[in-house]
Structure 1
């Protein structure tokens, strides 16, 4: 822990109870960006107190996903389960100051209380049976029962904060019951641990999902009981899936790392995620550096953002196009190698990437084009073969093959060989170019045929044309 805190300290505090998806990771992106934009510190904290559901595998995916996206943390990861002694120390301070009391109400009694309140159309809540007060007689302590510890929530006044997304929020204290902050076995509960962590880690800004709004007034009251001012809060609207439901594993969300495996670029993902709840004018495509230069909490949106995979692919395509060919070749290399291709270090890969990057929206799609140039054979669709490779054009294909065997190997000479063949057989360009594409590249839809042939190489072209 650091004692000298810079002006901005943010945190991402995921619970490792399942894989991290895009809705979760956006809650890491904004605090990371705010810390970076303000030369602050970004802390990673793993809230792993749910022992039944937390797993190391989920922690690994969180760290792996953040690393892939370049959301580097300055401190941590800190694990709440490793901080239990600290929580118990602070709990003892609260007890000594009279902010905590033991409650012996059983689960059955609590359930019965809630049923009575709901039948009376009241808000279900703990009724303060065991809360000590001057002149109040508490029930007799039941034998053999370990109590929970409850926090004495203030009973008057309101909790007010200026949320950086939602604006002014005011909750009357009489709407809040006395929160359980330690279980019968003495282990502290979530809302208490979070406050201790945020104090110890000197967090200045808490940027998190708006599913935490109901926790915030309780946490603020604990901060003040400990003599601390709460941080600035910004509660982000939910990210919805394409069906308009809250993004979740149950609703078909994918792990962040799956986007990496599907060939998305980390900078494109950051660009897309940034726009799911924040904007800078009408700018749609921007670099990571631009994003950090522009980012602040004043332009966070108040409405739920909806994920759109088609839009994500478009954003990724723009970032692919913008990369220089050599950089792109380095990124596509592992995807091409995964296809079992060899010879990828022969120097052609950057030029192939440059030729096809305008046609691709992922690195996987680009690797599929790379395969055309490095695989032994291509497999055209039967209908394309039947449509374009006809008996009428076969003599021209044979003549072109002969010319390509002897011409100089550059784009201009290949183009000249094609034109000579067109003239000899009285054909228009599509009549020859389409079957050449189908036979050599496996599809009738490619960039300029002379550019494709130049990169394919004389020997591979001859072998494929002879399949006619």
Structure 2
């Protein structure tokens, strides 16, 4: 039997990091088993679906390494509507489903406010199809439904506690439960690897598989992803869009690595590992069913490690979207003709050790490409104390006559300027840094001054001096 797994997102918004994790788990499992990964776009919610969301799904999958052309699909659920309706008809004609015209208010009035489900009122009343008649599945009165789950064992559900659920609406359109089952049957899906939130629907879907005469797939419900308060990640409350992390400058490799650790870990006392190790070692059976904490701080630390591991040339290439404002990245504060590729290449190794996401490259190097630095007024107020003006005067005078404009000479010269005032280097260089870069923190100062050059450095220091008494 060829293993066939599927990833079936809905194009109704940005690509959720939890969905990205499920996609990767399906992808790896299919690869390990020599199977097939199927992409199915569940687009039957026409009111909420947008073509750009579908393209967003495909682009996000590309980014995390599930590239177009390497999987089967994408298929679109809406294209299988005929099969959905045919399955509903078969279930009705075989007596496994019946029509019901009860409204929600009808059920409420008949059963009372505490009743949590439909009471089977129309089971044996012989109502036929018609406008406003929903089709309900006839759940067995006795016995249990056992779900074979690679992660959770064999959850068992009493059939008598499962209401006669709707499988087609009053307008004849099948609901998600039935459409999902029919699609999986049509596509020959053997394993369904998906989020834990779908587990309550699984016994209903398994009953549908049985009623349609097809062996159900093997299930694997991966743990829910939660925030620091142990609440399920929410689009309204949490930062969950994969595209947002991509555009902030997280590397695909770091994101892949981190997502795979949500509920699973490689062997040994390690977390940052090559993707080939994850592909070899990942086992669905080893996934922890407990909720998985999405720790953005930890992801950020991961990303910093991945950035530092890049060869410098690759780091320079990776920064280009933020330096040029390409694609979905906002343009930098400088004009295109102000950017100096050689200057950036000179400071790139310094910046690479100091940033955790690629978007941080802009505030670290903007002083190199702007005619005047962007002054952080809070930093100015904090740094430019009494005596800062005179210190800048002395530093300008010393830098003007400096024979060699290099980092070591700049450092020793400013150190001497500070020593004459009884100041250590840290106190001495702070006003110079703010005058030249506009900030109190950033790349190593003297290497930055070397790249910036004598004329621009002195011009900025003199301009800063004019602002001081």
Q: TM-score range by the shorter chain?
A: 0.7 to 0.9
Counterpart of 2:230 in 1: which secondary structure? coil
Is 1:295 the counterpart of 2:282 in the alignment?
Answer: yes
2-side partners of 1:299 and 1:403: how far apart?
68
The one of 55, 58, 66 aligned to 2:61: 66
Within a 5 Å distance, the mapping from 1:355-374 to structure 2 comes to 355-374=350-369
Is 1:149 the counterpart of 2:145 in the alignment?
Answer: no
Aligned to 2:400: 402
Counterpart of 1:243 in 2: which secondary structure? coil
Within a 5 Å distance, the mapping from 1:39-58 to structure 2 comes to 39-58=34-53
Aligned to 1:234: 220
The one of 433, 440, 445 aligned to 2:436: 440
Within a 5 Å distance, the mapping from 1:419-458 to structure 2 comes to 428-430=424-426, 432-458=428-454
Counterpart of 1:155 in 2: which secondary structure? coil
Q: Give the Å deviation of 1:144.
A: 6.5
Decide whether aligned partners of structure 1 residues 22 and 144 sit closer, same or farther in structure 2, where only a CA change above 3 A counts.
Answer: closer
Greater displacement, 296-305 / 273-282: 273-282
2-side partners of 1:250 and 1:395: how far apart?
53
Is 1:129 the counterpart of 2:122 in the alignment?
Answer: yes
Greater displacement, 150-159 / 304-313: 150-159
Q: Contact 1:332–1:363 (CA<8 Å) still a contact in 2?
A: yes
TM (norm. structure 1) is 0.85
Counterpart of 2:109 in 1: which secondary structure? helix
Decide whether aligned partners of structure 1 residues 356 and 253 sit closer, same or farther in structure 2, where only a CA change above 3 A counts.
Answer: closer
Q: Give the Å deviation of 1:212.
A: 1.1
Within a 5 Å distance, the mapping from 1:59-458 to structure 2 comes to 59-72=54-67, 74-115=71-112, 118=114, 124-127=117-120, 129-131=122-124, 138=125, 141=127, 147-281=133-267, 282-337=269-324, 338-341=331-334, 342=336, 343-344=338-339, 346-378=341-373, 379=375, 381-387=379-385, 390-404=388-402, 406-407=403-404, 410-412=406-408, 414=410, 428-430=424-426, 432-458=428-454
TM (norm. structure 2) is 0.84
Q: Give the Å deviation of 1:201.
A: 1.7
Q: Give the Å deviation of 1:389.
A: 6.5
Counterpart of 1:359 in 2: which secondary structure? coil
Aligned to 2:327: none
2-side partners of 1:178 and 1:461: how far apart?
77
Cα deviation 1:89-127 (Å, max 9, x = unaligned): 3334444544333344455443334428x46xxx63332
Decide whether aligned partners of structure 1 residues 126 and 417 sit closer, same or farther in structure 2, where only a CA change above 3 A counts.
Answer: same
**What runs of 5+ residues in structure 2 fail to find an aligned partner?**
325-330
CA RMSD of aligned residues (A): 3.1
Q: Contact 2:384–2:431 (CA<8 Å) still a contact in 1?
A: no
How many residues of Structure 1 are paired with residues of Structure 2 in the alignment? 450
Counterpart of 1:20 in 2: which secondary structure? coil
2-side partners of 1:187 and 1:143: how far apart?
12
**What runs of 5+ residues in structure 1 fail to find an aligned partner?**
1-5, 132-137
2-side partners of 1:251 and 1:166: how far apart?
29
2-side partners of 1:146 and 1:430: how far apart?
78
Q: Give the Å deviation of 1:275.
A: 2.0
Decide whether aligned partners of structure 1 residues 104 and 416 sit closer, same or farther in structure 2, where only a CA change above 3 A counts.
Answer: closer
Q: Give the Å deviation of 1:198.
A: 1.0
2-side partners of 1:163 and 1:240: how far apart?
21
Q: Give the Å deviation of 1:169.
A: 0.7
Q: Contact 2:22–2:194 (CA<8 Å) still a contact in 1?
A: yes
Q: Give the Å deviation of 1:369.
A: 0.8
Q: Give the Å deviation of 1:417.
A: 5.4
